A and B are shown apart, each in its own frame.
Chain A
Amino acid sequence: MDIKLSHFNGGIHLDDHKAESLTQPLQIASLPDQLILPLKQHIGEPNKPLVDVGDRVLRGQLIAGSSSPISSPIHAPTSGVVSAIEPHLVPHTSGQSADCIVIDVDGKDESIEFESIDVSQMQAADMIDHIRHLGIVGLGGASFPTSPKLSRGNDLGIHTLIINGVECEPYITCDDSLMQNQADDIIRGIGYLQRMLKPTKTLIGVEDNKPKAIEAMNLALQSHAHSESHSQALINTEVVSIPTLYPSGGEKQLIQILTGNEIPTGRLAFDIGIFCQNVGTCAAITQALELNQPLMSRIVTVSGDGVRKPGNWIVRLGTPIKHLIGLAGGYVQGDLNKPSLNMHGLNMHGFNMHDNVQQHLVMGGPMMGFSLSSDEVPIVKGSNNILVMQQQLIAQTPGIHDECVRCGKCAEVCPAQLLPQQLYWHSRSKEYEKVEEYNLFDCIECGCCSAVCPSQIPLVQYYRASKSEIRATQQATFKSDRARIRFEFREKRLLLKKQQEEEKRRLKREALLKKSAAKKEASDAVDAVQAALDRVKEKNGEKVIEPKNITGLTADQQKQIDVADARRRAAREQKA
C-alpha cells in the first residue's frame, strides 16, 4: 500500500519529554490498600452499584452496571471487601466528588472463574456484546464505550480502520510502552476489529518519534501474517510513520493526515466510513475476546520534573494516584500539602500565594490535561498519564496577560482552521452568538493557540468558559422551552375541559329546552280550549275585555310613558 500523507492546518512542535518515562521498562504496579472506583468512568449514563458495603468481591466480578446502551460496566480489579459506596474526589475537570465504590484490598488477588470462550466461532454481534459486558471503553482518553461505537460502525459500513498510536502530547508514553511490549496483543485486537467492521484497509498511525514502537508493531504485523495459527489474517494493514507534530493524535487530524479527508462539521468519523480506535483499546479487546477478562487495569505514565523516577506502570483501575507517585519514587520536593488546598488559602486566581513553590498535578498531557486538586483521586479507565510539574509556570489566567496585538499566530497554528483571535474578542465581550458564528464548537481545545500567544492570553480557557456558558444557556432555554410547552399543554387541557363542560351544559340545556317545549305544546293545547271558549263567548255577544293597566290612558299619561321609554332606550344605547 502506498500511503500519501496529507497535512492538517497549523500544529506546533513541542519538546516531547518522552525519554524521561521510557528510561525504565514497563512495570506492574503493586496493589494499593484501597481501590476507589468511580461509578462513571465513561461518557454516557452512570452505573448503579451491584454490590453492597461489606460484600467480598473477587477480581473480575461485576460490581456496577447500567442498562443504558451508552454505558460501560465496572468490574472489581482485585479481591477485597467493599468498605464504602460514597462520594469521593474523582479525576474530573470540575474537581468535584462523585459516587465511588471503595474496595479494601485483601492482597490475595483472587479471581472469579473466567469462562473460556472460543472467539473464532463468534459473530460480529456476539463480539460486540462481549466487549460491552467486559467494560471496554476507548483508552485514548475520551473513554467512550467501545461497543456502541462498534455497532454503529458495523451498521454504517466502514472502509478504513485507523488505529491511533500517535500519542502526540508531550510526556505521555503509555501507548508507546504498550506498542513496544504488547504489539502482538494490539495486532490481534486489530484482527478482531477487522472481523467486526470489515474495512478494506487498516492504517496504524504512529509518530516518527517512536521508532521502537514502529519497529515492534511492524514485527508483530509480519509475524502475524506468517503465522499459521491464526485463522484470520490481517487484510491490507500497514503501520504508517507520521511526522511528529502536535496535535496529530487528534482523531480529526489523524484522519486528515492518513486519508486527506475532513469530517464534515457536526458529523462523526464513521459518517464518512472511517473508524478510529486507540492502540490501548485494541489490546483490551484482545484480552476481552481471548481470555474473557474485563477491563481491570491499564498502562499509566507517571512523568514530569516533580517525580523522582518517571516511568510506565500497568495499574489496576481505582489505584489512588498517591500510590502511583510513590512507585515513581515520590515527589521531588516534599508532599502535596493538603490543608492549604482549602479555598481560604487561595487568592482569586486559585493560586496559593503563601508558598513560592507551586506543585502541579495534572491528569493527561500538558496540552489538554486538567489539574488535579489532590493526589487522592484514583486512576480511571481514561487515565493515560499523571504529570507532576514542580517548575514555576507562568500563570495563564484571564485578566493577567498582555493585550492581543492581532499577530494572528493563533490562527496559523489552529488545526481546526478557526480564527482564535475573533473567538477571543467575542468571548471576552460575551457575544456568544458571534462566538458560535465563528464556529467555537469546532474548537478541539488542543491548546496550540494558547501555547504560541505572545501576549500569553489563556485563549483555551476563554473558549471553555464560552462553551460552558453557551451550553448553560442552551440548557436554560431547553428547560424554559419545556416549561413553556408544559404550560401551554396545561392551558390547552384546561380549555378543552372547559369546552367539554360547556358542551355538556349545552346538551343539558337543549334537553331541558326540548322538555319545556314539550310542556308548552301541552299548555298550547290548553290554550286551544280557552280560545274555543272565548269564541263561544264572543258569539254570545259578550265583549272580551282585556284588563290591562295601559288601556284607557290619558294623553298626558301616554306622553309621560313615551318620554320614559325614550330615556331608557337612550340609556341602553349608551350602555351598548
Chain B
Amino acid sequence: MTSVIVSSPYVNPSNSLRRLMINVIIGLIPGTLAYVWFFGPGILVNISISILFALGFEAFILRLRKKRIKPHLTDYSAVVTAWLFALCLPTHSPWWLIVVGIGFAMIAGKHLYGGLGLNPFNPAMVGYVVVLISFPREMTTWHLPISISGEAYGLVDSLKFAFAIGDSSWDAFTAATPLDHVKTALRQDVPISEIYQAPLFGKLGGIGWEWISAGWLIGGLWLLITKTIRWHIPAALLGSLGSIALAFYLVDTETATSPLFHWLSGGVMLGAFFIATDPVTAATTNHGRIYYGILIGLLVYLIRSWGGYPDGVAFAVLLANMCVPLIDYYTQPKVYGAK
C-alpha cells in the first residue's frame, strides 16, 4: 500500500458528464414516445441512423485529432446531439439527409471548433439549419398524424422509406405542419378561428404536436429535478415568448395565435428545455441565462410571425449563441468583498 500525493479536495465526484448526458437522454424519452404514438416509428429510424453516424463521425474525427476515442464516445454527448438533431427532421427522412446533417453537425459544428466544450454554436442546430436551407423539399415533407391520415406505418415501412427501397411516394399523406398552416393562412387573411377548423388542430395546438410538446415538458421537469439544467433559460424563454404572444393575442385574437399555441407548437418546448440549455453554447452566468432565454423567446416570435420560416427555434438559438460571449461579459456576478 502506498500513500498518494494529490491535491485536495479528496472527495468522490458527485457528478459526471456521462450522468448529465444520460439524464438528458432519459428526459427525451417521454416526448419521443409521444412522437411514436402520433406519427409512427419513423422517428425511431431517424434517431437510430443519426446516432449511428454521429458516433461514426465522432470516432473518425477523434482519430484524426489523435484523441482518445472511447472516453469521448462514452460521454454520450454525440448521442444527445444526434437524438436532438433527428427530432427536428420530418418523421420520414431519407438516410442521406440525416447523414449530411449530422455529419455537418459533428464535424463542422463541433470538432472544427475544438470539440466538446469549445463549440460556440449548438451542433444539432447547425446540422439542422444546414439541411433546412440545402434541402427545402425534403425538409418540408411532413406527414400527417396517424389519427388524421389513418395510415399507420410500421417499422419496416419506415426503414424502406428511409433507404428509398421500393415505392416510396408518400405525397398523398404529407401536409403542412400546424405552424406552417397558420402562417400561410394568416398571410391570406384567414381568421384564426377559421384556421383552427382544419383537421390538423387539436385543443391547444396541432393534433399530436401538443402532446409531444407535453412530453418534452415532462422530460424538462425531470432535467430540472435532477439538476441537470437550471430553471433560468426555460423560464426566460417561455416567459418572453408567452408575453409577446399574449400581447399580440390580446390585441386581436383573430390575427395572432395564443401563447399556449406558441408554447405547444413546433420546437419550443424541446428548444426551451433541451436545446437552449446546452451548457456549452448557452450563457453561463445565471443572470446571463435569463437574458439569453429572453432573447431566444423574442427571436422565435419574430421569426414565426414575420420571418421566412414557420418555426424559428433553430435560428433563434444560433443567433443567441452568437451573443453569448457578450452576455457573459456583461453579467459577471459581483465578487465577494468587491465594492
> Does A475 sit within 8 A of B, measured CB to CB?
no
Looking at the assembled complex, report how far the CB atom of A78 sits from the nearest CB atom of chain B, in whole angstroms.
28
What's the Cα separation between A421 and B328 when bound, in Å? Answer: 12
Neighbouring A residues of B334 by C-beta, 8 Å: 417
**Among residues 312 to 339 in chain B, which have CB atoms less than 8 Å away from a CB atom of chain A?**
332-339
Neighbouring B residues of A412 by C-beta, 8 Å: 230, 286
Q: Could you tell me if B117 and A393 are in contact, using CB atoms closer than 8 angstroms?
A: no
Q: Could you tell me if A419 and B332 are in contact, using CB atoms closer than 8 angstroms?
A: yes
Contact of B4 among A263, A351, A417 (CB under 8 A): A351
Q: Could you tell me if B335 and A442 are in contact, using CB atoms closer than 8 angstroms?
A: yes
> Does B65 sit within 8 A of A, measured CB to CB?
no
Say which one of A36-44, A356-364, A508-516 lies at the interface with B: A356-364
Given contact pairs A366-B11, A405-B117, A416-B335, A331 touches B1 in the complex (Cβ within 8 A): yes
What's the Cα separation between A506 and B333 when bound, in Å? Answer: 69
Q: Could you tell me if A406 and B284 are in contact, using CB atoms closer than 8 angstroms?
A: yes
Contact of A340 among B2, B19, B118 (CB under 8 A): B2
Q: Could you tell me if B11 and A350 are in contact, using CB atoms closer than 8 angstroms?
A: no
Q: Could you tell me if B8 and A460 are in contact, using CB atoms closer than 8 angstroms?
A: yes
**Among residues 342 to 397 in chain A, which have CB atoms less than 8 Å away from a CB atom of chain B?**
345, 350-352, 354-355, 357-362, 364, 366-375, 387, 389-391, 393-397
> Does A500 sit within 8 A of B, measured CB to CB?
no
Q: Could you tell me if B335 and A439 are in contact, using CB atoms closer than 8 angstroms?
A: yes
Q: Could you tell me if A453 and B9 are in contact, using CB atoms closer than 8 angstroms?
A: no
Q: Could you tell me if A333 and B11 are in contact, using CB atoms closer than 8 angstroms?
A: no
What's the Cα separation between A240 and B230 when bound, in Å? Answer: 32
Contact of A262 among B7, B279, B280, B336 (CB under 8 A): B336
Q: Could you tell me if B9 and A450 are in contact, using CB atoms closer than 8 angstroms?
A: yes
Q: Could you tell me if B12 and A394 are in contact, using CB atoms closer than 8 angstroms?
A: yes
Q: Could you tell me if A407 and B10 are in contact, using CB atoms closer than 8 angstroms?
A: no
Looking at the assembled complex, report how far the CB atom of A244 sits from the nearest CB atom of chain B, in whole angstroms.
16
Q: Could you tell me if B279 and A405 are in contact, using CB atoms closer than 8 angstroms?
A: yes
**Among residues 400 to 417 in chain A, which have CB atoms less than 8 Å away from a CB atom of chain B?**
402-409, 411-412, 415-417
Query: Closest chain A residue to B75 by CB distance?
Result: A402
Given contact pairs A373-B3, A407-B20, A368 touches B8 in the complex (Cβ within 8 A): yes
Q: Could you tell me if B333 and A417 are in contact, using CB atoms closer than 8 angstroms?
A: yes
Neighbouring B residues of A119 by C-beta, 8 Å: none
> Does A180 sit within 8 A of B, measured CB to CB?
no
> Does B308 sit within 8 A of A, measured CB to CB?
no
> Does A118 sit within 8 A of B, measured CB to CB?
no
Looking at the assembled complex, report how far the CB atom of A570 sits from the nearest CB atom of chain B, in whole angstroms.
71
Query: Closest chain A residue to B19 by CB distance?
Result: A454
Determine chain B's interface SS by DSSP, over half rule: loop
Q: Could you tell me if A396 and B6 are in contact, using CB atoms closer than 8 angstroms?
A: yes
> Does A69 sit within 8 A of B, measured CB to CB?
no
Q: Could you tell me if A264 and B9 are in contact, using CB atoms closer than 8 angstroms?
A: no
Query: Closest chain B residue to A266 by CB distance?
Result: B337
Neighbouring B residues of A374 by C-beta, 8 Å: 3
Looking at the assembled complex, report how far the CB atom of A142 sits from the nearest CB atom of chain B, in whole angstroms.
15
Q: Could you tell me if A368 and B9 are in contact, using CB atoms closer than 8 angstroms?
A: yes
What's the Cα separation between A405 and B333 when bound, in Å? Answer: 19
> Does A551 sit within 8 A of B, measured CB to CB?
no
> Does A229 sit within 8 A of B, measured CB to CB?
no
Q: Could you tell me if A350 and B2 are in contact, using CB atoms closer than 8 angstroms?
A: no
Contact of B6 among A8, A331, A350, A408 (CB under 8 A): A350
Q: Could you tell me if A352 and B279 are in contact, using CB atoms closer than 8 angstroms?
A: no
Q: Could you tell me if B6 and A371 are in contact, using CB atoms closer than 8 angstroms?
A: yes
Q: Could you tell me if B15 and A452 are in contact, using CB atoms closer than 8 angstroms?
A: yes
> Does B136 sit within 8 A of A, measured CB to CB?
no
Neighbouring A residues of B17 by C-beta, 8 Å: 402, 405, 454-455
> Does A130 sit within 8 A of B, measured CB to CB?
no
Query: Closest chain A residue to B232 by CB distance?
Result: A408
**Among residues 280 to 312 in chain B, which have CB atoms less than 8 Å away from a CB atom of chain A?**
280, 282, 284-286
> Does A298 sit within 8 A of B, measured CB to CB?
no
Query: Closest chain B residue to A389 by CB distance?
Result: B10
Q: Could you tell me if B117 and A396 are in contact, using CB atoms closer than 8 angstroms?
A: no
> Does B116 sit within 8 A of A, measured CB to CB?
yes
> Does B115 sit within 8 A of A, measured CB to CB?
yes
What's the Cα separation between A567 and B171 when bound, in Å? Answer: 109
> Does A461 sit within 8 A of B, measured CB to CB?
yes
Looking at the assembled complex, report how far the CB atom of B289 sits from the nearest CB atom of chain A, in whole angstroms.
8
Given contact pairs A406-B117, A415-B336, A352 touches B4 in the complex (Cβ within 8 A): yes
What's the Cα separation between A464 and B6 when bound, in Å? Answer: 12
Q: Could you tell me if B336 and A358 are in contact, using CB atoms closer than 8 angstroms?
A: no
Contact of B13 among A170, A360, A456 (CB under 8 A): A456
Neighbouring B residues of A97 by C-beta, 8 Å: none
Q: Could you tell me if A403 and B8 are in contact, using CB atoms closer than 8 angstroms?
A: no
Neighbouring A residues of B133 by C-beta, 8 Å: none
Neighbouring B residues of A263 by C-beta, 8 Å: 337
Looking at the assembled complex, report how far the CB atom of A452 sits from the nearest CB atom of chain B, in whole angstroms.
6
Looking at the assembled complex, report how far the CB atom of A544 sits from the nearest CB atom of chain B, in whole angstroms.
97
> Does B188 sit within 8 A of A, measured CB to CB?
no
Given contact pairs A262-B336, A405-B280, A359 touches B14 in the complex (Cβ within 8 A): no
Neighbouring B residues of A373 by C-beta, 8 Å: 3, 5
> Does B169 sit within 8 A of A, measured CB to CB?
no
Query: Closest chain B residue to A306 by CB distance?
Result: B1
Q: Could you tell me if B284 and A411 are in contact, using CB atoms closer than 8 angstroms?
A: yes
What's the Cα separation between A257 and B137 when bound, in Å? Answer: 62
Digitize B93-123: 1 where CB-to-A-CB distance is under 8 Å, 0 elsewhere: 0000000000000000000000111100000
Q: Could you tell me if A419 and B333 are in contact, using CB atoms closer than 8 angstroms?
A: yes
What's the Cα separation between A455 and B4 when bound, in Å? Answer: 22
Contact of B336 among A367, A408, A442 (CB under 8 A): A442
Looking at the assembled complex, report how far the CB atom of A474 sits from the nearest CB atom of chain B, in whole angstroms.
21
Q: Could you tell me if A403 and B1 are in contact, using CB atoms closer than 8 angstroms?
A: no
Contact of A405 among B14, B116, B230, B337 (CB under 8 A): B116
Query: Closest chain A residue to B117 by CB distance?
Result: A403
Given contact pairs A337-B1, A407-B20, A369 touches B7 in the complex (Cβ within 8 A): no
Digitize B28-39: 1 where CB-to-A-CB distance is under 8 Å, 0 elsewhere: 000000000000
Query: Closest chain B residue to A448 by CB distance?
Result: B9
> Does A84 sit within 8 A of B, measured CB to CB?
no
What's the Cα separation between A273 and B332 when bound, in Å? Answer: 29
Looking at the assembled complex, report how far the CB atom of B120 sits from the nearest CB atom of chain A, in whole angstroms.
11
Looking at the assembled complex, report how far the CB atom of B285 sits from the nearest CB atom of chain A, in whole angstroms.
7
> Does A25 sit within 8 A of B, measured CB to CB?
no
Looking at the assembled complex, report how far the CB atom of B21 sits from the nearest CB atom of chain A, in whole angstroms.
9
Neighbouring A residues of B337 by C-beta, 8 Å: 252, 262-267, 416, 442
Contact of A408 among B8, B20, B284 (CB under 8 A): B284
Given contact pairs A334-B1, A397-B6, A411 touches B20 in the complex (Cβ within 8 A): no
Neighbouring A residues of B197 by C-beta, 8 Å: none
Looking at the assembled complex, report how far the CB atom of B255 sits from the nearest CB atom of chain A, in whole angstroms.
40
Contact of B2 among A341, A393, A408, A455 (CB under 8 A): A341
> Does A95 sit within 8 A of B, measured CB to CB?
yes
Neighbouring A residues of B285 by C-beta, 8 Å: 408, 411, 419
Q: Could you tell me if B116 and A393 are in contact, using CB atoms closer than 8 angstroms?
A: no
Q: Could you tell me if B115 and A454 are in contact, using CB atoms closer than 8 angstroms?
A: no
Digitize A402-443: 1 where CB-to-B-CB distance is under 8 Å, 0 elsewhere: 111111110110011111010000000000000000010010
Neighbouring A residues of B279 by C-beta, 8 Å: 405-408
Digitize B250-291: 1 where CB-to-A-CB distance is under 8 Å, 0 elsewhere: 000000000000000000000000000001101011100000
30 A-B residue pairs with CB within 8 Å: A265-B339, A266-B337, A331-B1, A334-B1, A336-B1, A350-B4, A350-B5, A355-B2, A360-B4, A367-B11, A369-B8, A370-B8, A371-B3, A393-B4, A396-B6, A402-B116, A405-B280, A406-B117, A406-B284, A417-B335, A419-B332, A439-B335, A442-B335, A450-B9, A451-B11, A454-B20, A455-B16, A456-B13, A456-B16, A458-B7
Known: A252-B336, A442-B335. 20 other contacts (CB 8 A): A9-B336, A265-B336, A354-B2, A358-B2, A361-B3, A367-B9, A368-B9, A369-B8, A371-B3, A375-B3, A387-B10, A396-B6, A402-B116, A404-B117, A416-B335, A417-B333, A451-B14, A454-B16, A455-B16, A455-B117
Interface residues of B (CB under 8 A from A): 1-17, 19-20, 71, 75, 77, 115-118, 230, 279-280, 282, 284-286, 332-339
Closest 4 CB pairs of A and B: A447-B9, A403-B117, A407-B279, A461-B7
